[in-house]
Amino acid sequence: MQPIKLSQIEWHNVAILFTTPILAIIGCAFVPLQTNTFWLAVAYYFFTGLGITAGYHRYWSHRSYDASRTFQILLLAMGTGAMEGSVKWWSRGHRVHHRYTDTEKDPYNAKYGFWWSHIGWMLIRTENKARVDISDLNADPLIRFQHKHYAALSIFMAFIFPTIVTGLLWDDWIGGFFFVGVTRLVFLHHSTFCINSLVHNLGEHTFDDKRTPRDNWVAALITFGEGYHNFHHEFPADYRNALKFYQYDPTKWLIWFASLAGFTYNLKMFPSNEIEKGRLWMQQKKIDEAKKNLNYGVPIEDLPTMTFEDVKSKIKETGIKLLVISGVVYDVTDFMNDHPGGKGFLRVSIGRDVTASFNGGIYDHANAARNLMQSMRYAKLVGEVPEELKALEE
Ligand code: HEM
């Protein structure tokens, strides 16, 4: 990153993002918190937060479902109270983020560090010539209206509206402003900012590890379900972020419940067959990585070849303890005393093909034995073994 110049600082964002925490601290220190006001602050936190996740994010940025105009207006009002910019600005940035994740053109590039992706990108303007299609947003008069009047609308929805509600309903004008307005906003800001910072740094690469997004169920708890971010970046057009019923994704639940009333429809879901392929692909990748740390012996195709005559003369000349199982010659010299089945069984097996005995004729060995024997591979057998050297009496 280049050194920062004063002219790059986004002063209005600095003002909002630094003034609100200071006001919240003042409010918490000096303003008495009424129970009604507290619960309204919690409710308004969900109301405005879901406006961002169900509205700004899953509807306008990704079009992961369709919504009636009434529901769009509701989502717009909810999201406007989160003071995170207009839908047009937010969704454009988000589409750029998906297209250019982790690159220089990603507005909240997680590769520039936690604090940059959390808040720094809003405080410092950087040149970004990334292009994405937002013609659908430009064509929508509702989105154009919100963009044009965003400052007034967001001040009203973030501060004035909750103040009026608490003031008129239980005469707590100051509490309404400080707790439902300001303090709620600070919590909401930083919880949603965690989607760009925390879940690009901590969690599981469930479906792909090509880029930074991760699945983090703890982050899902504070981000209305958006913590399942690896899934989201892999399947962005899916209206869900969490797949399992027990995973916390209230944004998905809202969209789904709204569909029962006809407010939302055409809820998009990526085919589960493909989702599972992604999950297995990643699991396989992790297994392959872990296997690199284990000794699987010399691959059979890389072993030298021996005839059964060679095996016999090798044993005779060197005293090495060789036996044959399924076409592979094993050296059990150092294993004789450690064999859980006893030394005797191995001793009578030397210089023989004991495939049948090993596979059930005497004892049907478990996986442990089959894994262990890989490190004892000695040669690949070519040619026949005399029949009398195959059978072994118990
Ligand atoms: C390279 C060759 C061999 C290896 C690495 C090996 C390894 C083992 C291992 C790890 C066990 C413990 C249980 C299990 O994993 O199933 C076992 C048990 C046993 N093995 Fe082997 N084995 C070999 C060859 C043989 C042969 C050729 C015979 C018979 C001729 C034999 C007879 C037995 C018997 C009878 C037991 C059962 C012991 C018990 O639980 O009482 N093994 N072997």
pLDDT digits (tens, 9 = 90+) for 241-277: 999 999 999 999 999 999 999 999 999 999 999 999 9
Q: What percentage of the chain reaches a pLDDT higher than 70? A: 98
Cα separation values, 12 from 19, 151, 382, Å: 10, 11, 80
pLDDT digits (tens, 9 = 90+) for 11-30: 999 999 999 999 999 999 99
Predicted confidence (pLDDT) at residue 394 exceeds the cutoff of 60: no
Higher-confidence residue of 31 and 393: namely 31
Find the helix or strand (DSSP H, E) in which 305 lies.
Answer: strand 305-306
The helix/strand count (H/E) of the chain reads as: 20, 6
Predicted confidence (pLDDT) at residue 7 exceeds the cutoff of 70: yes
For atom 37 of ligand 1, the residue with the nearest CA is 341
Q: Who lines ligand 1 at CB under 6 A?
A: 330, 332, 339-341, 345, 349, 354, 357-358, 362-363, 365-366, 368-369, 372-373, 376, 392
- pTM for the structure as a whole: 0.84
pLDDT digits (tens, 9 = 90+) for 193-202: 999 999 999 9
How confident is the model at residue 392, as a pLDDT?
A: 67
Alpha-carbon distance of 92 to 121, in angstroms, equals 15
Alpha-carbon distance of 198 to 157, in angstroms, equals 27
ipTM: 0.94
Q: DSSP 3-state assignment of 369? A: helix
Ramachandran angles phi, psi of 112, nearest 5°: -85, 5
Q: In the chain, what are the domains?
A: 6-284 (no CATH), 300-389 (3.10.120.10)
How confident is the model at residue 217, as a pLDDT?
A: 95
For atom 7 of ligand 1, the residue with the nearest CA is 369
Å from CA of 126 to ligand 1 middle: 67
pLDDT digits (tens, 9 = 90+) for 87-107: 999 999 999 999 999 999 999
Strand-strand pairing, 377-381 and 328-331: antiparallel
- Average pLDDT, rounded, for the chain: 95
How confident is the model at residue 389, as a pLDDT?
A: 82
Angle formed by the axes of helices 141-148 and 87-99, nearest 10°: 110
Alpha-carbon distance of 13 to 17, in angstroms, equals 6
What number of CA atoms fall less than 13 Å from residue 295's CA on the CB side? 7
For atom 40 of ligand 1, the residue with the nearest CA is 341
- Tell me how far apart the terminal alpha carbons of the chain are, to the nearest angstrom: 74
Predicted confidence (pLDDT) at residue 332 exceeds the cutoff of 60: yes
Pocket test for ligand 1, best of 350, 365, 385 (most atoms within 8 A of CB): 365
